[in-house]
Amino acid sequence: MILVELLNLTFDLGVDIEWVSNVKFVPLADAGAVSQATFTHSSMSFSNPCMKSLPRRLLPSTSALAAFEAVARLGSFTAAAHELSLTQGAISRQIVALETLLGRPLFARGRRGVALTAEGAAYARRITEALSIIRTASLDVMTKRHGNTLNLAVTPTFGTRWLMPRMRGFLDRHPEITLNFVNRIGQFDFAVEGIDAAIHIGASDWPGAECMLLMHETVAPLCSPAFLGDHAIGGAADLGRLPLLHMASRPGAWEHWFDSLGLAPPPAQGMRFDQFAAVAQAAIAGIGVALLPLFLVRQELEAGQLVKAVDHPIRSRSSYYLVTPRSKPVEGSVAQFRQWLLAEIEAFLQSDDAP
């Protein structure tokens, strides 16, 4: 296994391979005195006089990796420089140093900007994951001053509009717990991300995890008053000829709404959005009709920014769940948060603001 890994490193770093026959393994009698190692396997061998320097060579500086990740993600040296509060020249030097170290071009430069090479794209995927692990580990160490930390993933809109206004109650009750929040949409690997629990919108089909139902949601087709005034909407069937706005977190939502009325859904067309805030803003701007959960847009409804295009609310097929990995017992800060959250959910469902 070690030999295979070393061979892989050799190929990756471009070390010369010598094909020989009748070769043997030459051990290192004195690692402090011998600077060359020769490995053989079947009919091939390779020799690297700089073997002791390989580990250091395979560890680029975090500054270079952070610059690379930012350029790869943003597609621009200028944007990366702005995000990292550096000059464009500093970013360029970090990328050149990294490419020199690896002996491979990571970006193709052109008049229209930069684009990842095939090797650069593969490297970016691994480095992004590695930096995420490093950030999470660093945050864990920095925030565990009380020895009790909870890393929680939440969907952005539910987190800002429903959860955050209630968090003071939890923090007052459990001042010994340090909470860290990250925004996540969709499923992820708890172990890789370093997350203890997640509040998820969707179905209870998360592999390797326990999904505890928190609540359902009621959705209705909403638009701006101006849009409603500009379009003659006499009933649900009229929506089929209008621009419908779709959310990635709620696939098939419009089909379900039309089915509830016994109507054939129109072809799946129209603008699609990853973020709830974006689709809500598009509806407010008069771009189309969005199927939105009423309890998350109560402020916009009360302010008259949104109105019902058709008064037919239904229960969404997507629900809210508290998700925890099966690999870890629900105890400590996770158990305390779950107990508090369930009590808050119960009080909310009994209020006039319930979905």
Asked if residue 102 is part of any domain, the answer here is yes
- Per DSSP bridges, beta strands 37-41 and 197-202 are unpaired
User: Does 160 lie in the same domain as 23?
Assistant: no
Check whether 288 has a pLDDT greater than 80. yes
Q: What phi and psi, each to the nearest 5 degrees, are found at residue 92?
A: -60, -40
User: Does 243 lie in the same domain as 267?
Assistant: yes
User: Does 343 lie in the same domain as 333?
Assistant: yes
pLDDT value for 142:
67
User: Does 241 lie in the same domain as 293?
Assistant: yes
Asked if residue 237 is part of any domain, the answer here is yes
Could you read off the pLDDT of 181-197 as tens digits, one per residue? 998 888 888 988 889 99
Q: Quick one: which H or E segment has residue 282?
A: helix 276-284
By percentage, how much of the chain surpasses pLDDT 90? 52
Check whether 168 has a pLDDT greater than 80. yes
Could you read off the pLDDT of 62-91 as tens digits, one per residue? 999 999 999 999 889 988 998 899 999 999
Q: Which residue is associated with the tokens 């909403």?
A: 222
Last residue of a domain, one of 37, 57, 77: 57
Could you read off the pLDDT of 96-135 as tens digits, one per residue? 999 999 998 999 988 777 899 999 999 999 999 888 888 8
User: Does 179 lie in the same domain as 212?
Assistant: yes
Could you read off the pLDDT of 228-272 as tens digits, one per residue? 999 989 889 999 889 999 988 788 899 999 999 999 888 767 788
User: Does 30 lie in the same domain as 9?
Assistant: yes
Asked if residue 343 is part of any domain, the answer here is yes
User: Does 224 lie in the same domain as 193?
Assistant: no
Under the banding of pLDDT at 50, 70 and 90, the label for residue 45 is very low
**How far out from the chain centre does Cα 156 lie?**
11
CA distance readout (Å), 170 to 174, 276, 324, 329: 6, 26, 19, 21
pLDDT value for 143:
58
- Cα–Cα distance, 344 to 338 (Å, whole number): 10
- Cα–Cα distance, 225 to 285 (Å, whole number): 10
Q: 85, exposed or middle or buried, with CB in 10 Å at 0-12, 13-18, 19+? A: exposed
pTM of the model: 0.59
Asked if residue 187 is part of any domain, the answer here is yes
Check whether 5 has a pLDDT greater than 50. no
User: Does 325 lie in the same domain as 202?
Assistant: yes
User: Does 224 lie in the same domain as 306?
Assistant: yes
**Number of domains observed in the structure of the chain:** 4
Handedness of CA 65, 69, 75, 76 (dihedral sign): negative
User: Does 177 lie in the same domain as 39?
Assistant: no
Mean pLDDT lowest among 39-53, 123-137, 341-355: 39-53
pLDDT value for 351:
84
Asked if residue 354 is part of any domain, the answer here is no
| CATH code of 116's domain | 1.10.10.10
| β-bridge partners, 48 | 37
Last residue of a domain, one of 84, 102, 137: 137
- Per DSSP bridges, beta strands 272-273 and 244-247 are parallel
Q: Quick one: which H or E segment has residue 348?
A: helix 332-349
Asked if residue 160 is part of any domain, the answer here is yes
| CATH code of 148's domain | 3.40.190.10
User: Does 247 lie in the same domain as 163?
Assistant: no
Enclosing domain of residue 82: 62-137
| β-bridge partners, 292 | 220
Asked if residue 85 is part of any domain, the answer here is yes
User: Does 151 lie in the same domain as 131?
Assistant: no
| β-bridge partners, 200 | 321
Asked if residue 355 is part of any domain, the answer here is no
